[in-house]
Amino acid sequence: MPPFSPKEDEASAQKGVGPLIPPLPDLLRPLRQQVFERVRAAGLIARVQVAKELGVSPATITTLTAELIEAGLIKEVTAPREGEAARPADAGRGRPAVQLGVRAEAHLVAGMKVSDRENTAVIVDFAGNLLADVSYPHALGAMSLPALLATMESLLDRVCDKAGVARSQLSAVGLGVPGFVDMEQGMVLWSSILSLRNVPLAAAASAHLRLPVHIDNDANLVALAELWFGGGRSIADFAVVTMEHGVGMGLVLGHRIFRGSQRVGMELGHTKVQLDGALCRCGQRGCLEAYIADYALAREATTALNWGHKEGQSIGVLLESLYDQAKAGNAIAKSIFRRAGRYLAVGLSNVINLFDPALVILSGERMRYDYLYAEETLAEMENLVINTGRPRPPIEIHAWGDLLWAHGAAALALSQTTEAILANLGREIAAQ
């Protein structure tokens, strides 16, 4: 065979190497959107500070903020003196220092979580201020799509009534559900609250409520709530592990929710910890969730403590009984929590070994039981995390309650609404 000659096969030699990166506008948020997000994140901020933080000229910021003011999305506010409230920039004489803030009344959104135990909802304004919230028990189990839509409508009407707003005044609704959810396509591939698989829930809910509806896995929404309202606002990379009736995880990388290539990743609760192990509600065996979720503890307690006579009681009541038994010194009850804690240690150590987050947040109503096994769990986890000679990330416990999930859903609605409005504004300005 003759030696390879570049001249003879020049076309095949010019295939190129390296990552095929899309054009920059596809990777970076438009500067107008970055300006708006900077204003919303700060609450009140001067133009010169926005320019400094974004690394652009003050003249550019002046132009972009003028467009946002004209569109009714932000407003000028005089910088308050000590002990005074901020006021509109034209409220006084002279040339007071002017700051920028979001026009809160520009849009309203709702955030809702529907689960097999508790339904919650909030309404927030465009600046993220809470206007109303509702929460009530829900124990219907898996529902048909029409039943779920009716539940959503009832929940939305309740929170709208409490806020004193009409449903038509909302710009969007965010919805969190447990299970495998493709946020981009609006599909629920599987959920414990739906009797069917592969349900186009976002489209069905949008048509039923006559509003844009955005859906996501409920654990992702807890991470989003921490990113928007909680301990993750200033942290680029962190993980949230939720412990309720199921076990979920949300991962934030570069201040963004990471969902995976098919948008259904980060299912920590369904990582396998025991081959041919306990039955999980997803239908498989040996999932982490099957050892540490609410239903797993209740199932084990019913067997180990001979609670057959309590079989008709709710999982919440069974857990409270187990909790009381453990506090009273019952060795079997304490061992059930201890075993769950060891499995939790396995899950947390895997999260740290895989992603090396700056912070791990444990969230959910179950965290009120944490003191029964927290120290032992963290000690066990220390033994399972690889020894790099560097400190492990801190672990914080945030027992916010069920409204946290609804706040995350509201953040999803705010995010999607903002991007749509600013994209449309950009097209209108470009067409002028």
**What radius of gyration, in Å, describes the C-alpha atoms of the chain?**
25
- Residues 165-185: pLDDT tens digits? 999 999 999 999 988 999 999
Name the pLDDT band for 342 (thresholds 50, 70, 90): very high
Q: DSSP class of residue 105?
A: G
Most confident residue range from 87-91, 145-149, 232-236: 145-149
pLDDT, tens only, 212-252: 999 999 899 999 999 999 889 999 999 999 887 788 999 99
* Average predicted confidence (pLDDT) for the chain: 88
Measured CA to CA, the distance from residue 234 to residue 253 in angstroms comes to 12
Domains of the chain in start order, with CATH, are: 24-102 (1.10.10.10), 107-432 (3.30.420.40)
Question: Is pLDDT larger for residue 429 or for residue 92?
Answer: 429
Give the pLDDT score at 199.
97
Q: What is the pTM of this model?
A: 0.86
From the list 345, 298, 334, the residue with the least C-alpha distance to 317 is: 298
Encode pLDDT of 353-412 as tens digits.
Answer: 999 999 999 887 666 666 556 788 888 899 999 999 999 999 988 876 778 889 999 999
Please list, in sequence order, all residues whose beta carbon lies within 8 angstroms of the beta carbon of residue 389, skipping any fewer than 6 positions away: none
152-168 confidence digits (pLDDT tens): 999 999 999 999 999 99
Give the pLDDT confidence of 299-322 residue by residue, as tens digits. 888 888 888 767 667 777 888 888
From residue 416, give the alpha-carbon distance in Å to each of 87, 131, 148, 174, 216.
Answer: 29, 19, 23, 9, 12
pLDDT band at 21 (very low <50, low <70, confident <90, very high): low
